[in-house]
Structure 1
Amino acid sequence: TSLTWFFAIVAIVVGLWTLFHLKPGLLPAVQNVIYGIRPEASASFYLIFAIAMSFLFGCVMVSRRFDYWEVRGNELLHHHGVLSDLERFSAPNLRIDKEINDVFEYMLLRSGRLILHPSNERRAIVLENVLFISEKEDRITRMLGALQVRVRTDSQ
């Protein structure tokens, strides 16, 4: 997981820093290369970087508008595509599983994986990186736990 990789990289960096600090003549070629690096960035670099990142974020925001899920009282709707193609899944007896695999991801934005198991569907629906997952799981559970019945009279 990312937690293991994080601590492994930190341990390696701290170990190498300590080694080169205690024995400065150990690798003079590496030391000369490291001391020779002079990173510089001009204002135009930061401007181009900001424009590129804004463009990428904008593309992500637009693409998310064309692929989303909607939970209603008795059905689960999947809107996808430019013309909003629609898939319907029955929501009664919907089973919901919540997985939190990445501790850092959960600490930052309380996000995780939401797995939906519709009763009439063989495959599970996996929603990755759901922000504020505990709150959304509670809201979906409350919504699906309440059964709404509408009775019509003959005059309606």
Structure 2
Amino acid sequence: IKDNVLPQRANAVVNFRIHPNDTVASVTQHVKDVTSHIEGLTIAQYEDGIASEASPVSSMDSEAYRVLEAVALSTGGGSVPVAPALVIGATDARYASAISKDAIYRFAPAIYDDVDLNGFHGTNERLSVDNLGRMIKGYAQIMMALCS
């Protein structure tokens, strides 16, 4: 095909992060609904099982959450507000949902600055030495609190 000729076909891979109130089926249907006016468009999911439902929302009313809250306050010097948040990335925690009931927490006892944040999933991915120390101390506190 020459540079000035429009291609006859195009393919796109679209990666969605499923909200806990949605399902893979509802997101797929939404995409089909909003693109139904496009003639010849085909919507299909990968057949390799890569699609997964959102993880369940974890309880804030549990011993595990209270331990994480205490470690977060300790890590932040006692002045950091602690609140749940939605993690938009798929983590390995999803494989533990069958055995953990409603207590999957994605938590890192660290204080990230711009340098740390810009280093995630990129070239020369790294963690500051200060945060490595905080994480070792924080995870040790969690294990001692939950295993005693």
Name the one with the larger helix percent.
1
Name the one with the larger strand percent.
1
Q: Give the TM interval when normalised to the shorter protein.
A: under 0.3
Which of these two proteins has the greater Rg computed from alpha carbons?
A: 1
TM-score (structure 1 length as normaliser): 0.24
TM-score (structure 2 length as normaliser): 0.25
Structure of greater relative contact order (alpha carbons < 8 Å, 6+ residues apart): 2
